Amino acid sequence: MLQFEWPWVLLALPLPWIARRLLSPVRRPAGGALRVPFFARMMSATASTATRGARALWIAALAWLLLIAAAARPQWLGEPEAVAMSGRDIMLAVDLSRSMQQTDFEVQGELIDRLSAVKLVALDFIERRVGDRIGLILFGDRAYLQAPLTFDRTTVQTLLKEAVLGLAGDATAMGDAIGIAVKRLRGDRVQNRVLILLTDGANTAGEIEPLKAAELAAKAGLKIHTIGIGADEVRIRQLFGTYRTNPKLDLDEATLKAIAERTGGRYFRARDSTELNEIYALIDQIEPIEQDPRRFRPIASLYPWPLGVAVLLGAWLVLRERTGVRGAAVS
């Protein structure tokens, strides 16, 4: 369906006719009588000139009509399309402490650090959250709101890609991250509010204790799913052989489980990228992606077409006028 965004502009259509009626015509100086022996041929040329002038007038009128139509912003409304709207607010809180540089995640036979593994899986998770508002919190020594809740999943993905180790400090302010999520989601009309907290350590910084922050989250109706990151055992090669280490020792699983239980969420353990991917798939089931879809009609702007034709017609009229003047001067 065709519609005009600014239909009131169409009121300017009769302006040239009004100007012609109100303004007095230009008076030409009167000359003396002159006997012309080739009067018939001159009258024929005059008639031809009058015809060309009338044609130019109609073309100018068409150009004006097209200009007004372009100024009224014509739009084409497409067929209604359904868009999934889940009405969910989801915050991702990602740990950027130095311990996240531990290379104990295997992807396609290659070891990568924990943060890179989180990014690989989280980016796909964000892409699947059609209809949800997504936000991003980064925390280290302190917690920072990197992206407020938004439907723009591409922007959140870009900000997550740009996150680097140590950006927020070397420690882990887990409680502050929960506090920021509570502050941003408190009073929101959306009933289903979720925080996904990803960390590989224990709370070693910040102003709020994690369990106290969890109590505030529970009162605010915020559900927290916690994910503990890190392999159970890592083999590190050195000059004189290899030795085994257990990165899990730094992970405070008891606190992460308590946070999830107090807020009605769940605790997950991610030992490798495969488990992390399975966790996100399970969260997709716990927090369903789609609800009742909303419909909208795509809008396409059409004003460049009448504007382009009007410009071409105006250029043709100017070129014709200059050519006519030069021809008269030569003759």
CATH code, domain carrying 137: 3.40.50.410
Task: State whether 280 and 303 are in the same domain.
Answer: no
In a shared domain, residues 311 and 223: no
Find all residues with CB under 8 Å of 303, minimum gap 6, and list them. Answer: 69, 70, 71, 73, 74
Same domain membership, residue 187 and residue 51: no
Going 75 to 80 to 81 to 82, the CA torsion angle's sign is positive
The secondary element (H helix, E strand) that includes residue 257 is helix 253-263
Tell me if 29 is assigned to some domain.
Answer: no
The beta strands (E) that lie in 10-142 are given as 74-77, 81-83, 88-95, 105-107, 110-112, 133-139
Query: For position 136, what pLDDT does the model report?
Result: 93
Among 267, 286, 305, give the residue marking a domain's end: 286
Is residue 113 in some structural domain?
yes
pLDDT, one tens digit per residue, over 67-110 is: 999 999 888 887 776 655 556 788 999 988 887 877 777 777 77
- 34 within domain boundaries: no
Instruction: Please indicate, yes or no, if residue 225 is contained in any of the structural domains.
Output: yes
Give every strand in the sheet of 267-270, ordered side by side: 143-150, 133-139, 88-95, 192-199, 222-229, 267-270
- How many structural domains comprise the chain? 2
Q: Is 183 found in the same domain as 226? A: yes
Sequence-distant (≥ 6) Cβ neighbours of residue 237 within 8 angstroms: none
Residue 111 counted as domain residue: yes
Residues 274 and 185 in one domain: yes
Is 140 in the same domain as 257? yes
Q: What is the DSSP letter of 293?
A: -
Shared domain for 119 and 255, answered yes or no, is yes
Q: What is the pTM of this model?
A: 0.59
Shared domain check, 253 and 165: yes
- Whether residue 32 is contained in a domain is answered as no
At residue 246, does pLDDT exceed 50?
no
pLDDT score for 44: 52
46 or 65: which leads in pLDDT: 65
Are residues 16 and 151 both part of a single domain? no
If you average pLDDT over each of 121-125, 233-237, 273-277, 289-293, which comes out highest?
121-125
**Strand, helix or coil for residue 237:** strand
Owning domain of residue 6:
2-22+42-78+297-330
User: From residue 302, how far is each of 65, 74, 151 by CA, in Å?
Assistant: 15, 5, 27
